[in-house]
Structure 1
Amino acid sequence: MRRTAVALSSAAAAGEAPPNPVTYLTDDEKMLVETVRAFSLTHVVPRSRQMDEEGKMDPVVLKEAFAAGLMGIETPADLEGGGMSFFSSILAIEELARHDPAVSVTVDVQNTLVNNIFFNFANDAQRRKYLPKLAKDTVGCFCLTEAGSGSDAFALNTKAEKKGSKWVINGSKLYITNGGWAGIFLVMATVDPSKGYKGITCFVVDSSETPGVSVVRTENKLGIRASSTAELRLENVEVPEENVIGEVGKGYKIAINILNEGRIGIGAQMLGIAQGSLDIVMPYLFQRKQFGKFIGDFQGMQMQYAECAMELHAARLMVYNASRKKQNNEMFIQDAAMAKYFASVVAEKTASRAVEWAGGVGFMKDFGLERFYRDAKIGAIYEGTSIIQLQTIAKMIKAQYDKSSSPSGASH
């Protein structure tokens, strides 16, 4: 302990910079947030209410998202992307959700799920073929969930059968984000049902190269209504052997790993929802008077918005920390589950409180709060329900204490 303190003191004396706080942003990261804010205010906010009411995204928003580089934030520059970090993607997702959570999740899935599968598991030829498309003009989707699966994610009925040099895929997928307008589908299918999850394999299906993927319907949702959530049917979809991502039978590992990363993205979306709710309601609290004083100056109100602001700050620290740990190749699974769970709780609570604080006007669509209230609910459901997050956290905590039960491993 003393040697550590001396070492730290020596480093400080030598003029070494102290560690940055987890919320520290570089100039490039600040510029990214400002760029996303400008994009949102220019192209998204003027269309948000109509998109929410119609339950579909204006094609202009998608077009401009590609033009702004938001669909390939981490993709290397030589593959038409932004060449930025995973943390940069998280910042963009948060800022987008502050204005429109439906647009945020569209960008989130493209970056944290689809692109990251190519970064982490695809070979060089696959990355060079598909990442430029995903960065420039093609939406991708991650096809795991089926009617018989959900929290039991690997109870799959979609099958892939080897015929000569090709795989033929048949089945259906449910609640697929971005499914309605995707051109590239990352499909989880079983090649051998007798092997259970060890038979699951990840395939790339490019609709510009092979027919057979159709949209059965686009869901009519409570929240994030402008995003595409679709049921897909795959009928005799033929793909070559080179369209297998990773190894045959190892798709479950890809799914588990990528969902852990995706949970950080959902946490960021929830931060944006909570922040967006406060952005709308807080000015109102100091415009409206009751009993001769601003409603924001009543002590009962102060206690509530102070609590929400504090919890949002804590959630942001958790999401940013999980993101930075993932980016640094540190163990982050428990952090991601905690961040996703807590940020979802904070978003739902803050959006609900904000509606109450605004009173009658908060209940009206024109004010904008009710959309955040509806959008917040999905945080407890997708990319692993809140109960699944708690189970994950509990398993990891138990494992930590199991390891420390022996005298040689005891540590507190």
Structure 2
Amino acid sequence: MKVFCGIDWASDHHDVALTDSDGALVARARISDDARGLNELLELLAAHGDSEDKRIPVAIETSRGLPVACLRATGRPVYAINPMAAARYRDRHAVARKKSDHLDAMILANILRTDAAVHHPLPQDSELAQAIAILARAQQDAVWDRTQAGNKLRSHLHEYFPAALATFTSRDGLAAPSALIILAVAPTPAQAAKLTLAQLRALLKRAGRQRGIEAEAERLRIAFRLAHMRQLPLVEEAMGHQTVTLVRKLEAACTSADDLAHAAVESFEKHPDAEIITSFPGLGSLTGARVLAEIGDDRSRFTDARGLKAFAGAAPVTRAPGKSHAVLARRVKNQRLAAVGYLWAFASLTASVGARAHYDRRREAGDRHTAAQRNLFNRLLGCLHHCLTTRTHYDESTAFSPPQTQDLPAAA
């Protein structure tokens, strides 16, 4: 008798249901979210035929958390079912749309019984790959937080301190160490205008600047004393206090992004796939860590390059109902991998002659910039899948052979 397990998880307890191949309920239980509850679950599975040679598959509506991590560590196939998909299955069993934790657990078990082939178990990534995924995703979140904090500070300064926006125009902008330190010391136009050359030189040195200090201090002094529109004194002072808070948030976001980037790169360079991934043009250690974080190192996860391209959103979607036919960009995708794919494709334009030629051909065929970059990302993903599968490094002449004469497909 084949048994399937479904777990409806919650913050403090989980409902478990076991069904057989006919859909009949074999066992049910409610376990706590702790080590005791995990032991109860393992004993329940073992009592119904679970062994090292024959593991009972488990379906749950999440891919994270300690219960999932512990089940994956035992070698059991764990299926993370999308809650939207589980809701559609619920309508097949309850016309009145009733809902309960036990019913949801049974539905998850029956999903594996009837449609396990169309769902995929969580990949068996190595411990190092899982650690890289945590660090790379956290670093990517920190970068997004840094951008959001910078935009908030910029919008706030625009309301009362336009001189600061006109002054800090370097590549890092308001996130530059000198900008953060000066705004923390002089968050209002009145305070900034009172800064002397000696004070500005000291602030620049504290920010780590080593060259051109005298010229930069003079430039800042002149810029802060130019005439601009001003708020009322008390309003300006209040907005200065808010600026100090926003500066602290931006500084913390910058520090977090830098620390996590260092940790992600350090872990990534220890992985055996690092040399292959970074052999591709446009991929460095940090962007390579982000790519590895999303695709993992379980090579059985993507049996061919088509699955990887669809997962990344690089492959278009064809809609052909009736007599209509449309090729559209894929919207449902791994957003993190798609984000790093944009950076990868853009950087490869200057790092690879073949990538640039491929991009130019797509543009000449009528693609817009985004579509051409997405098509280039699609091409690079196919090369990456081949290199990781065959354990070979990137080769420019193989990846981008001379242009073929066949017609290019329609733009996505």
- With the shorter chain as reference, the TM-score category is under 0.3
Under a length normalisation based on structure 1, what TM-score does the superposition of the two structures give?
A: 0.25
Normalized per residue, which structure has more strand?
Answer: 1
| Larger Rg over CA atoms | 2
